[in-house]
Structures are given as structure tokens and as C-alpha cells.
């Protein structure tokens, strides 16, 4: 599996109107239109699923389940939110269910080291390399979080879902979602951007 990095949002995607038209046709019962929606959005959905569950096999299961649920619930999508946001919510819900099942039946495996392909290199190779390194460190730090903390921070800070949507899809209260978000951000900040004294495990003294 490779990571593709695209520049401005949507450069690898059709215009939003094209997706909206496909979704509208699918809602009218056009199966081929829904198949096209799957082709257009699957990489994005898979990316979210992978970030939430942390391995390829589970991510594929989550993606399949998410599209089945989306297809069955397509009539309930009223177009008030973006289709992709609606799909993210379904994917988050499926991932949460999947992780719950996995906790009961399996042990976690270490994530694979994925190859990275940068399709949009910037002008300064040093900057590009530094940015790529940072992204890899952030991805690794996310993968190292417990799933319940990881889910909240990915949905909020990467995918910009509102607190109430996150709480609803993960089956927790808004307060619990906020508490988890705070813990996740603090752990990531301490690991990736430590203050002087935190890096070697010392808590920096607080002046008060």
C-alpha cells in the first residue's frame, strides 16, 4: 500500500457537483451511479478506516461494511451535509463497531511500515523531506495511541467532524468525546512537540 499526497483538496477527486450528481442518481435507485460513487470515494474512505483501525485487513472490512450501510441508508441522506462527511460518519461508526468486536476476539498487530509516494513534490527538497518526515512521525504517533483516543483525535483534528457527530458515531457522550480528545492531543503533543524537559521524561516546572 502506498500513501499519495495531493495538494489542494480535491485535486484527485471529481468536482463536488459531479459527486453530488452521482449521489442524487444513486438515491433514485441507479446502482451504477452508486458503483461510481464507490470508485470515486473508496481511497478516502479507506484512508479514514485505516487511520481508525490501524491495519489493512480490518480497514478493508470496515470499508465494505461502510458502503453496504451507506447503500442501504442512502434514502436517509438528505443532502444537508456533504456526502463525504456523511460517509465519514458511517465509516467511523463501522470502525468503532469493528474495533469493539476485535477487542473481544483478537490481539492487536503492529502496523506495517508503508511505502510513501509523494506525487506533488514542492520546490525545496529539504522542506519536502522535512514535511514527509513529520507526517510519518505524526502517523506513527497516531497509530501508537489507544484506539479510543485515536478515533476521537482523527475524526476531530484530521477530518474536522463536530464533537456531537463524533460522540454519536462512537456511542459516547459529548463530554466523554471532549475528554478523550484532550488526552489524545496532550499525548501527541508531548510525543511530537515536547516542551523543554518533557522529551527526557521530566515534567517541566510550571511557574504558576
Partner 1 sequence: MPAELRCDDVAPTLAELAAAGSTDLRARRHVESCLRCQAELVQYRKLLRALRALRTDVLRPAPGLVADVLASLEEAGERHAIRALLTGRRAAYLSGIAAATAAGAAGAIVLASRSRARNARRFRLAG
State whether the Cα torsion 113-159-117-134 is positive or negative. Answer: negative
Is residue 2 close enough to count as binding partner 1 by CB under 8 A? yes
The residue range among 6-14, 16-24, 79-87, 94-102 that interacts with partner 1, by the rule CB under 8 A, is 6-14
If you ran DSSP here, which 8-state letter would residue 120 be given? S
Spell out a b/e string for 124-160, using b for 16 or more CB atoms within 10 Å of the CB, else e: eeeeeeeeeeeeeeebebbeebebbbbbbbbbbeebe
Is residue 135 close enough to count as binding partner 1 by CB under 8 A? yes
Is residue 14 close enough to count as binding partner 1 by CB under 8 A? no
**Angle, in degrees to the nearest 10, between helices 31-53 and 83-105:** 50
Distance CA 13, CA 40 (A): 7
Residue 162 CB, nearest approach to partner 1 (Å): 11
For partner 1, which residue of 18, 24, 28, 68 counts as binding (CB under 8 A)?
A: 68
Is residue 59 close enough to count as binding partner 1 by CB under 8 A? yes
Is residue 194 close enough to count as binding partner 1 by CB under 8 A? yes
Other C-beta atoms within 10 Å of 200: how many? Answer: 7
Site for partner 1, residues 100 to 119, rule: CB under 8 A: 114
Is residue 82 close enough to count as binding partner 1 by CB under 8 A? no
Is residue 83 close enough to count as binding partner 1 by CB under 8 A? no
Distance CA 94, CA 91 (A): 5
Is residue 86 close enough to count as binding partner 1 by CB under 8 A? no
**CB of 106 or CB of 205, closer to partner 1:** 205
Do the Cβ atoms of 197 and 204 come closer than 8 Å? yes
**CB of 81 or CB of 103, closer to partner 1:** 81
Distance CA 124, CA 131 (A): 11
Binding site for partner 1 (CB under 8 A): 1-7, 9, 12, 31, 34-35, 38-39, 42-44, 46-47, 50-51, 56, 59-60, 63-64, 67-68, 71-72, 114, 131, 134-135, 138-139, 142, 153, 157-160, 181-182, 185-186, 188-189, 192-195, 204, 206-208
Amino acid at each position: 500500500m502506498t500513501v499519495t499526497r495531493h495538494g489542494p483538496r480535491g485535486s484527485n477527486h471529481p468536482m463536488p457537483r459531479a459527486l453530488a450528481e452521482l449521489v442524487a442518481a444513486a438515491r433514485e435507485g441507479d446502482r451504477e451511479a452508486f458503483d461510481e460513487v464507490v470508485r470515486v470515494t473508496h481511497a478516502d474512505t479507506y484512508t479514514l478506516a485505516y487511520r481508525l483501525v490501524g491495519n489493512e485487513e480490518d480497514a478493508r472490512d470496515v470499508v465494505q461494511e461502510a458502503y453496504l450501510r451507506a447503500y442501504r441508508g442512502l434514502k436517509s441522506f438528505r443532502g444537508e451535509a456533504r456526502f463525504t462527511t456523511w460517509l465519514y460518519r458511517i465509516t467511523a461508526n463501522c470502525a468503532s463497531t469493528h474495533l469493539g468486536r476485535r477487542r473481544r476476539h483478537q490481539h492487536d498487530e503492529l502496523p506495517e511500515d508503508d511505502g510513501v509516494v509523494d506525487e506533488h513534490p514542492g520546490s525545496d527538497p529539504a522542506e519536502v523531506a522535512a514535511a514527509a518526515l513529520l507526517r510519518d512521525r505524526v502517523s506513527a504517533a497516531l497509530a501508537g495511541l489507544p484506539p479510543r483516543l485515536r478515533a476521537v483525535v482523527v475524526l476531530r483534528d484530521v477530518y474536522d467532524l463536530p464533537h456531537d457527530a463524533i460522540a454519536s458515531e462512537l456511542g459516547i457522550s459529548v463530554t466523554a468525546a471532549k475528554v478523550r480528545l484532550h488526552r489524545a492531543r496532550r499525548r501527541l503533543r508531548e510525543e511530537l512537540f515536547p516542551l523543554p524537559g518533557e522529551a527526557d521524561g521530566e515534567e517541566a516546572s510550571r511557574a504558576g
